[in-house]
Amino acid sequence: MTQKYNHRWPIIQNILDKEGIAKQHLDSFDEFLENGLQQIIREVNQIDIENAEYPYKIQLEKIKLQQPRMMELDGSITHVTPAEARLRNISYVAPIMMEVSVIEDNKMLEKRYIHVGDMPVMVKSRGCILRSYGEQKLIDHQEDPRDPGGYFIINGSERVIVGLEDLSYNKIIVDNEKVGGKIIHKAKVYSSIIGYRAKLELIMKDDGMIVAKIPGSPVDIPIVTLMRALGLESDKDIAGAVSLVDEITTELEGSFAKAGDVSSAKDAIVSIIKRIAP
């Protein structure tokens, strides 16, 4: 078993050498700069200004990020590097500029770029000035050429966004857990739609029975009972909905054996009601 796992390390090392340890952070932030910001503006599109004399609209158009900068005490604007932000205990941020138009009676009165706020810039991302620097230029600006980036600088401190797989929406996560000295298998998914998020968990117990944990139920519900309540009454329909592979459907034998007298959708609903509110 140890030898089997050791064979994986060259693959992992190759991925790290080729892609780096911060690529997922940089790609995600670059995608946000490239498309995410503009998509947010498209969703809002325009703002209606109610005015008794002359109502008008503010049309939101292009948005862009300028180079990281800061305002000095004398009011002057200077561009900053990550190293300077660390030394001066300031945030490495860039101004967000948005093109807006004033429209009255379907006529454009004015169009210009305005400063709508500042956004932290991820080091080594497309918005970072270090992105195009070579090794020697990085050294000249007091930067480590081997620094992979992928973090922010807030008030002089380096901050990183920690990705948690548990928070991935609508993706099934399978795991093994040791409970009371026994290994149990779990599959969970955070089902999410607009304005609502719920966790569904399937657990295979050591006796082979599969139960479901669903929102609103204080107790576990046998998976066969739950599927019958949803309209799949026959064993064949339930097994076919799970998988067409015999090796997988065989794992349902323990659940079918413990289904008891629950054979119809009505019986299943009554059984679930009794479990939730005995």
Residue type, position 193, single letter: I
Domain end (from 162, 182, 212): 162
Same domain, 119 and 216: no
Same domain, 99 and 119: yes
What's the predicted TM-score (pTM) here?
0.58
Concatenate the DSSP letters of all residues of 113-136 into one string. EEEEEEEE--TTSTTSGGGG--HH
Q: Which residue has the tokens 């340890």?
A: 21
Domain end (from 118, 142, 162): 162
Which CATH number belongs to the domain containing residue 234 in this structure?
A: 3.90.1110.10
Per-residue model confidence (pLDDT) at position 87: 93
Per-residue model confidence (pLDDT) at position 80: 92
Per-residue model confidence (pLDDT) at position 167: 64
Distance in angstroms (rounded) separating the CA atoms of residues 207 and 249:
16
Q: Which residues pair with 114 in a beta bridge?
A: 98
Same domain, 156 and 25: yes
Same domain, 171 and 155: no
Closest CA to 104 of 58, 155, 41, 158: 58
Mean pLDDT for back-to-back runs of 10 residues, the chain (278 residues): 62 79 90 91 86 84 91 88 93 94 87 93 94 91 90 94 72 83 85 81 86 86 89 88 86 81 86 82
Concatenate the DSSP letters of all residues of 81-111 into one string. -HHHHHHHT---EEEEEEEEEEEETTEEEEE
Q: Which residue has the tokens 């304005």?
A: 195
What is residue 265's three-state secondary structure?
Answer: helix
| Total count of domains within the chain | 2
Per-residue model confidence (pLDDT) at position 4: 53
Per-residue model confidence (pLDDT) at position 1: 46
Same domain, 128 and 219: no
Distance in angstroms (rounded) separating the CA atoms of residues 84 and 253:
65
Same domain, 139 and 42: yes
| Antiparallel, parallel or unpaired: β 107-120 and 152-154 | unpaired
Q: What residue numbers bound the domain in which 230 lies? A: 167-276
DSSP state of 67: -
Distance in angstroms (rounded) separating the CA atoms of residues 82 and 159:
12
Distance in angstroms (rounded) separating the CA atoms of residues 156 and 90:
5
Same domain, 145 and 181: no
Same domain, 210 and 122: no
